[in-house]
Amino acid sequence: MVTSNRLKWLDMVKGICVFSVLLAHCGIEHNYLQLVYTPFFLVLFFFISGYLFKEKGVKISLRKLSHSLVIPYFLLCTFIILIGIDNWQAIINGNYSLILNRFKRVLLGYDLWFISCIIMVQLYYIFLSHLYMKSIRSKVITASIFLLSVYIIENDNSHTLPYYCDIALFALPFFIAGNVVKELLPNEWHPLQNKKWISIVLIIIYLVISLTMQHIFDMEFHFAYNYYKSPILFIILACIGIIIISLFSQSYQWHFIEKLGQNSLIIFAFNGKAHAITTLVLNSLGISKIIGFNSYLHAIAFCILQSFVLFAIAYTINNYVPFLIGKNNKKKYDENIITKPTYL
C-alpha cells in the first residue's frame, strides 16, 4: 500500500532486516534464529537500496550520494567518537594513539561498515551506469558477472579492504537486482494483497528450505567478512529470502517493525550504544536474563527493549540534529518517498 507517497512495505522490509541486525549483535546465543535471517538480511538491504535508487546523471547522483551517505558517515563516526567515555579517558591519560587510530579507521572506511560498503556500491553503480550499463539486459549481465566476484574476495581471515570495496563487488549484483525490479514492476504492485495466507505459507516454505539446506550442507557464511563455505548455496538462499520477505512485507504492516525501517541509518550507527544502555539498565535493575529458560525469547525480548532506546535516539536526532543523517529538516529527504532516492 502507498500512503502519503511513501512505500510502507519498504519500511517493513527494512524493519525486518534491522531487527535481524539487532539480533545478530545482541550477544545472546540463538543459533536457529540466526540460521533463519543470516542468508537474507544484509543482501536485502542492498536490494532495497537499488530499488530506491533513481538515476539522474553522474553529477547529481554523486551530489546526492555525498549528501545522503558520505557526509553523514563522517559526521556520525566523529559524533560517536566524541561521545565515547573511553575516548575521553584516553585523551586524559595521554593515549593519543588510540584516538588517532580511531580517526584513521574512519578515514579508511572501517567504521560503520555497512554505510562504507553501500557508499562503494553506489560509486560502482554510478560509474558503470555512466560507462555502459544503460539497459535492463546490460544490468542483468553485469549483475551475473559480479556475482562471481564472491569466489575472488572470499577469505577465511576476516580481512577486508578500505571502505569494504571488496565486499561491495559482491553486494553490487543485489543492488542492481533491486533497480531492475523497480524498472520492471510498478510501485503499486501487490500480488498477495488479498491473499495474506499465501505469505505465511511462503515464509514456512522458506524456513523449511533454509534450515534444511544449512543442516545438510556445510554452508557457513558471514557476508560482512567475505567468508563463505558454499557461495552458490548462499546466493540461492539469499535470492529466495529476498523474494519471500518482500512479498510478506507487502501483505502485513506492523508499526513497530516499520518504525525500525524508517530509522535504519540511525540504528546502524547507534545500535552498539543502545545495546550498552539496555544492558546497563537491565543490570541496574538486577535483571541478568529477561527470560532465563529460553535464550531465543531472551534474545528477542532484549532486542525489543533495545529498539525503544533506539527510538528515543532517533527521535532526538530527527528533531534536533537531522543534519547528522543527511536531512535538512524532518520532512525533506524522507526515506522511501519514491520521488527522491534514498539508500538506507
Which grid coordinates belong to 99? 584516538
pLDDT band at 289 (very low <50, low <70, confident <90, very high): low
Residue 226 CA to residue 269 CA, distance in Å, equals 21
Residues 277-286, mean pLDDT to the nearest whole number: 87
pLDDT of residue 294: 66
The region of weakest confidence among 8-22, 179-193, 242-256 is: 179-193
3-state SS, residue 153: helix
Give me the helix-helix angle, 196-216 and 231-251, nearest 10°.
160
214 versus 126: which is more confidently predicted?
126
Q: Which amino acid is at 165?
A: C
pLDDT of residue 343: 44
Residue 229 CA to residue 169 CA, distance in Å, equals 18
Nearest to 267 by CA among 300, 315, 211, 328: 315
Residue 269 CA to residue 18 CA, distance in Å, equals 12
Residue 308 CA to residue 109 CA, distance in Å, equals 28
pLDDT of residue 29: 85
**Burial (CB count within 10 angstroms: exposed 0-12, middle 13-18, buried 19+), residue 57:** exposed
Percent of the chain residues past pLDDT 70, beyond the cut: 89
Residue 82 CA to residue 106 CA, distance in Å, equals 13
Residues 280-302, mean pLDDT to the nearest whole number: 76
pLDDT of residue 288: 60
Task: Compute the residue count for the chain.
Answer: 344
Residue 335 CA to residue 283 CA, distance in Å, equals 35
Cα atoms in the 13 Å half-sphere on the side-chain side of 185: 13
Nearest to 176 by CA among 148, 141, 208: 141
**Cross-strand partners of 221:** 228
CA 19 to chain CA mean position, Å: 10
Question: 269 near 112, Cβ under 8 Å?
Answer: yes
Residues 41-58, mean pLDDT to the nearest whole number: 93
pLDDT band at 344 (very low <50, low <70, confident <90, very high): low
Please check the confidence at residue 335 and state whether its pLDDT lies above 60. no
pLDDT of residue 226: 82
Residue 24 CA to residue 15 CA, distance in Å, equals 14
43 versus 192: which is more confidently predicted?
43
| Mean of per-residue pLDDT scores for the chain | 87
155 versus 212: which is more confidently predicted?
212
pTM: 0.90
pLDDT of residue 329: 60
The region of weakest confidence among 101-110, 151-160, 287-296, 330-339 is: 330-339
Residue 334 CA to residue 166 CA, distance in Å, equals 30
pLDDT of residue 128: 96
